Structure 1
Amino acid sequence: VSRDIAIAALIKAQQKGIDPLKWQKYITMLQTFVKILIKAEHEVEEAKQGQALVVGGKIVARGSKRVLMKKVKKDKIKLDPKGDQNFLTYTGKEVGDSW
């Protein structure tokens, strides 16, 4: 939107009794709320879908790939050179899962 059109719209809004500063405050609040909502939604998805770290054919840990990589570094676990054989992707909660 060009500057002239924006100024014209602002003038018309003020003539109709609309306070642009008040609406700007609400828009800022909505933007913050949307960011919080998106973050929470991402965390729920991460809980439903995850990774399992497989070492020697056994699952040694579950969680997001980021958390598992921290565990690998902390415990100095050696990964297969291919790397994709160490991680198993799962979705949803299954019978017997404790998460």
Structure 2
Amino acid sequence: MAYDFFTEQPVTADNLAPALKARAKIVIHKRILPSLKTLSTADAQRAINMDIGVLQLLNAQQREMQDWPELFRRADSRYHYLGAKKPEGAIRWIIEAEWRG
């Protein structure tokens, strides 16, 4: 749907589900917390500090790769997690799901 930033959206909902059509794609561009077991001590400390900062500032948390399928399932069982990929040289991942409602 085309959207003009300066006008109110014609579709309103408290979440995505009421406005989605079957096979709609959900795309999230986000950092994914690496498994701390794979990091050096210094890198693990940086990742933990960033996670604590996100919690303090935004009341949120970083997620590891294996957390995303469950997150979509808990949001609504009609989401189907498609996977995540990190473009070469990028910091953030592209996480995809499909609406099967």
For normalisation by structure 2, the TM-score amounts to 0.23
For normalisation by structure 1, the TM-score amounts to 0.23
Q: From the CA coordinates, give the structure whose radius of gyration is larger.
A: 1
Q: Which has the higher contact order (CA 8 A, sep 6+)?
A: 2
